[in-house]
A and B are shown apart, each in its own frame.
Chain A
C-alpha cells in the first residue's frame, strides 16, 4: 500500500481536498504532515497542496521554502520519490529550485478563478500515464501569480527533455510563456502545476478529469 504525505503549511487551504481525493481512490494511506516536521522517509508520494502559505508574504512560496520540512522534501526528491506541487505548491517547488523558471503575477494583474482546458503534453510520466497524449482535460485555475516565466533557452530545454506536462489549451489567461501550465524536473519525479486537479476529481464538481493524475501516481 502506497503512503502519501500531504504537507500542511500555515495558510495551505487545498490540503483537505487533496486528502479526500487521494483517500477516495483506495488502497492508500494518506497523512497530513505539518511543515515543522522533518522526516518524510516513510512516504512514497509527497503532495504540496495549494493555498497561501505564509499569506503569500514577500513572494508566493518564498517563505515556505525555508520551513523545516523543505530539507526533507529536497532530500526525498533526490532519491526519486514522487512529488507533486499544485498551485502554491508549484510556487514553492520553484522557490526551492526543484523546478526551473519563475512564476510572476498574471499578465492582467487579477486573481483568476476559472475552469480551463489543458492539453496533456507528456503522458509518459508517473503523474500522467493514465491520460492519452494530447487529451484535453478540464480543471480550475485559482491564482494571482501563475504567469510562468522562462527564457527561450530554458523553454527549449524543457521541450527537448519532454519536461512540459500540460499546456493551456486555446485560453492562456495568465500569460505563461509557451502556454505552460505544468512542468516536470529533469528526472520526471517532480511535477508542478498551476491548475487544480484535486478540484476536478469528482463528477459533482463539474469535472473528474484531474483524478487520473492521482490514480497515475498511485498506479506507478
Chain B
C-alpha cells in the first residue's frame, strides 16, 4: 500500500508563493482563477505485511509528528493499494 499525503497552509495563513503564482496566472491572461495555494505532496510506501488500519495509523502519526506543522498547516491523505 502507499499513502499520498497533501499538506497545505491552514485558512488565514499567508501563502505568498500561492499569491504570487496566482497573480502571474492572471497576468498571463488566465483569468477567473483565484486563491491559488501551494503546498507539499509526499508519497510513502509501506511494508506489504501491514493492514490498512496500520497504514492509516502510521500515516496519521507521520503527519502529526513531523510532516505538517500543526500551527500553520493542515494535511489530508489517500491510502491506495499499490499498482
Give A106's nearest chain B residue, CB to CB.
B16
B-side contacts of A101, CB under 8 Å: 71
Q: Are B13 and A104 in contact (CB under 8 A)?
A: yes
Give A105's nearest chain B residue, CB to CB.
B16
Question: CA A102 – CA B71 in complex, angstroms?
Answer: 7
Q: Are B16 and A62 in contact (CB under 8 A)?
A: no
| Sample of 19 more A-B contacts, CB < 8 Å, known A58-B40, A62-B66, A66-B66 | A58-B67, A59-B69, A62-B69, A63-B66, A95-B69, A101-B71, A102-B69, A102-B71, A102-B72, A104-B13, A104-B14, A104-B72, A105-B16, A107-B16, A109-B16, A109-B17, A149-B14, A149-B72, A175-B14
The number of chain B residues with a CB under 8 A from chain A is 11
Judge whether B20 is part of the interface by a CB distance below 8 angstroms.
yes
Per-residue interface assignment for chain A, residues 121 to 161, with 1 indicating a CB less than 8 Å from any chain B CB and 0 otherwise: 00000000000000000000000000101000000000000
B-side contacts of A58, CB under 8 Å: 40, 66-67
B-side contacts of A149, CB under 8 Å: 13-14, 71-72
Instruction: Output the least CB separation between A61 and chain B (Å).
Output: 10
Q: Are B20 and A109 in contact (CB under 8 A)?
A: yes
B-side interface mostly: mixed
For the complex of A and B, the 8 pairs showing the least CB-CB separation, nearest first, are A102-B71, A109-B16, A102-B72, A107-B16, A104-B72, A59-B69, A109-B17, A105-B16
Instruction: Output the least CB separation between B64 and chain A (Å).
Output: 13
Residues of B at under 8 Å CB distance from A? 13-14, 16-17, 20, 40, 66-67, 69, 71-72
The number of chain A residues with a CB under 8 A from chain B is 17
> What would 10 A/B residue contacts be, using CB atoms closer than 8 Å?
A62-B66, A62-B69, A63-B66, A104-B13, A104-B14, A105-B16, A105-B17, A107-B16, A149-B72, A175-B14
Instruction: Output the least CB separation between B67 and chain A (Å).
Output: 7
Per-residue interface assignment for chain A, residues 52 to 94, with 1 indicating a CB less than 8 Å from any chain B CB and 0 otherwise: 0000001100110010000000000000000000000000000
